[in-house]
């Protein structure tokens, strides 16, 4: 049985002239919900300068890629009617004072976490892959941990923050890491232990509910899926489809290892944090920590190791050739972080960066 995959993407709403984020999500969502077909895949997010969409679960990766394109186009159409553009950037290049969204939950977050909540105007890409049970899901989570930083490096798309170059390829990952449950976690060994740990975190009183368990990868509370949450939203929609394909390959590879009773890599959380930091710092420029050794190797080689690791699963689903070609294109042209810096080097203008990325968002 082919596993289904769904993608959630968060997008920024920006002014088409100035490039500055605009707090128009309420109007854009109302327009999206009023579409003639009566269907809306869009939801509000923590800040009113962003919105989120979710695809349907798909078994065919070409259909998933088509839906990502369609949803981005629908978001752009609704935003245009509200006087804005949408852009797939994981942080806003230009200075912004974020506006907390409406609703009691968002107000609670703002009061509880203060500046951390205020500054979380970041856009990620969350990928859901179906699993047969919570036990299989935990077997998967325990085994894919070392590869998650490589996905972050491939998606890196947030070099700028409040008008400055941060020197990171994914500064979103650094901002997101301020939440108390964000980041890599230990192995759990069983679904029972996972759920006990999740409940213990809620019982501390720090969190509002289990929806605030922001592990890099977790069991979804809403769907029978593993949810991988480590990636920046990708500038190029083709890269989002590539990520989805690689994540499905990772989930299937890990599930096979679990069924074969092969033990997970015991690498500790401290090393995983180092690997995530390095991925956020350099993206595909320079070195990453190789998941098998936790030693630095050229990023291109580490990405190649990921592709080799999931090759059998991708071949079985008929996705390997497409994934191999897409990985080659990313290696050649770089990530969204490189694209943004290239535009800035050419134009000297962060407004030009946003304008070009608005165009690239739709592919």
Q: What is the pLDDT of residues 174-184, one digit of tens each?
A: 999 999 999 99
**Hey, what long-range contacts does 204-207 have (CB within 8 A, 24 or more apart)?**
206/180, 207/180, 207/181
Percent of the chain residues topping a pLDDT of 90: 94
The pLDDT of residue 35: 58
* pLDDT bucket at 41, cuts 50 / 70 / 90: confident
Strands 50-54 and 5-14 turn out to be: antiparallel
For the chain, the domains span 5-361
* pLDDT bucket at 36, cuts 50 / 70 / 90: very low
The pLDDT of residue 172: 98
DSSP 72-91: HHHHHHHHHHTT-EEE--SS
Is 251 strand, coil or helix? helix
Average pLDDT over residues 4-14: 98
pLDDT beyond 90 at 1: no
Average pLDDT over residues 102-107: 92
pLDDT beyond 90 at 33: no
The pLDDT of residue 362: 86
Q: What is the pLDDT of residues 302-341, one digit of tens each?
A: 999 999 999 999 999 999 999 999 999 999 999 999 999 9
3-state secondary structure 25-75: HHHHHHHHHCCCCCCCCEEECCECCEEEEECCCECCHHHHHHHHHHHHHHH
Q: What is the pLDDT of residues 255-296, one digit of tens each?
A: 999 999 999 999 999 999 999 999 999 999 999 999 999 999
Average pLDDT over residues 189-213: 97
Average pLDDT over residues 232-237: 98
How far is Cα of residue 26 from the mean position of the Cα atoms in its chain?
A: 23
The pLDDT of residue 32: 83
Q: Are the C-beta atoms of 260 and 159 separated by less than 8 Å?
A: no
The pLDDT of residue 257: 98
3-state secondary structure 261-287: CCCCCCCCHHHHHHHHHHHHHHCCCCE
* pLDDT bucket at 49, cuts 50 / 70 / 90: very high
Query: Taking the model in full, what pTM does it have?
Result: 0.96
pLDDT beyond 80 at 38: no
Q: Which H or E element spans position 233? A: none
- CATH number belonging to the domain at 5-361, selected among 3.40.980.10, 1.10.275.10, 2.60.40.420, 3.30.590.20: 3.30.590.20
Q: How high does pLDDT run on average in the chain?
A: 96
Q: Are the C-beta atoms of 121 and 96 separated by less than 8 Å?
A: yes
């Amino acid at each position: 049985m082919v596993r289904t995959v769904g993608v959630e993407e968060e997008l920024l709403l920006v002014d088409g002239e100035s490039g500055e984020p605009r707090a128009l999500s309420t109007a854009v969502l109302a327009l999206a919900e009023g579409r003639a077909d009566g269907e809306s895949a869009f939801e509000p997010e923590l800040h009113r300068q962003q919105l989120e969409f979710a695809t349907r679960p798909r078994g065919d990766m070409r259909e998933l890629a088509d839906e990502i394109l369609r949803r981005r186009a629908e978001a752009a159409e609704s935003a245009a009617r509200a006087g804005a553009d949408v852009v797939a950037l994981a942080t806003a290049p230009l200075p912004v004072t974020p506006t907390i969204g409406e609703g009691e939950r968002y107000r609670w977050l703002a009061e509880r976490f203060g500046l951390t909540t205020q500054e979380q105007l970041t856009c990620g890409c969350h990928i859901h892959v179906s699993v047969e049970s919570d036990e299989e899901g935990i077997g998967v989570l325990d085994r894919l941990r070392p590869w998650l930083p490589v996905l972050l490096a491939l998606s890196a798309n947030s070099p700028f923050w409040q008008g400055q170059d941060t020197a990171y390829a994914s500064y979103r990952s650094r901002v997101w890491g301020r939440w108390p449950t964000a980041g890599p976690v230990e192995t759990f060994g069983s679904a029972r232990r996972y759920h006990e740990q999740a409940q213990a975190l809620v019982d501390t009183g720090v969190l509002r509910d289990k929806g605030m368990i922001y592990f890099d990868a977790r069991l979804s509370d809403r769907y029978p899926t593993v949810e991988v949450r480590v990636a920046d939203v990708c500038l190029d929609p083709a890269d989002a489809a590539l990520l989805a394909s690689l994540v499905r390959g990772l989930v299937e590879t890990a599930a096979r290892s679990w069924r074969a009773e092969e033990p997970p890599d015991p690498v500790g959380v401290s090393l995983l944090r180092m690997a995530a930091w390095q991925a956020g710092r350099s993206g595909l420029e320079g070195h990453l920590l190789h998941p098998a050794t936790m030693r630095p190797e050229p990023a291109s080689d580490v990405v190649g190791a990921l592709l080799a690791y999931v090759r059998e699963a991708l071949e079985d689903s008929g996705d390997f050739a497409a994934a191999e070609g897409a990985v080659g294109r990313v290696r050649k042209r770089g990530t969204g972080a490189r694209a943004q810096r290239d535009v800035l080097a050419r134009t000297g203008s962060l407004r030009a960066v946003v304008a070009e990325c608005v165009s690239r968002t739709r592919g």
